[in-house]
Amino acid sequence: MIKILFFARLREQLSTDSLTIAARENLTTELIRQQLAETDDVWNKIMSPDSLLVAVNQEISDWYQQVNDGDEVAFFPPVTGG
């Protein structure tokens, strides 16, 4: 299983902070994004790659990163701390 997390605006707009998906061969951050975007129109809009960041195992990543069973993948908007 792969744990997926959502933060900030995404978490609110999707009304969920986490879910799990099944692991499979050759899975990447981009494929997970596409899979989630296909859920419905709301997800499709929110999971569009504009202004969307992804982290794998708590490290900022790109859209080509391979994702393996047991990984934690997080999607969130650009950060605004400080």
Partner 1 sequence: MIKVQKNDFVVADEYLRLAGDNQDGAIVTFVGKVRDFNEGLDVQGLSLEHYPGMTEKVLSDIENKAREHWPLNKVTIIHRFGNLTLGEQIVFIGVTSPHRKAAFAACEFLIDFLKTKAPFWKKELTSDGSIWLDAKASDNDASQQWHNKLT
Residues that bind partner 1 in the complex, under the rule CB under 8 A = 5, 7-9, 11-12, 55, 58-60, 74, 76-82
**In whole angstroms, how close is the CB of 66 to partner 1 at the nearest point?**
19
* Distance of closest approach, residue 47 Cβ to partner 1, in angstroms: 16
Is residue 77 within 8 Å of 9, Cβ to Cβ?
Answer: yes
3-state helix, strand, coil in the chain (%, to 5): 25, 25, 45
Q: Using the minimum distance from each CB to partner 1, give the nearer residue, 27 or 74.
A: 74
Least distance to partner 1 from the beta carbon of 16, Å?
14
CA dihedral (11, 15, 18, 22) in degrees, to 10, reads: -120
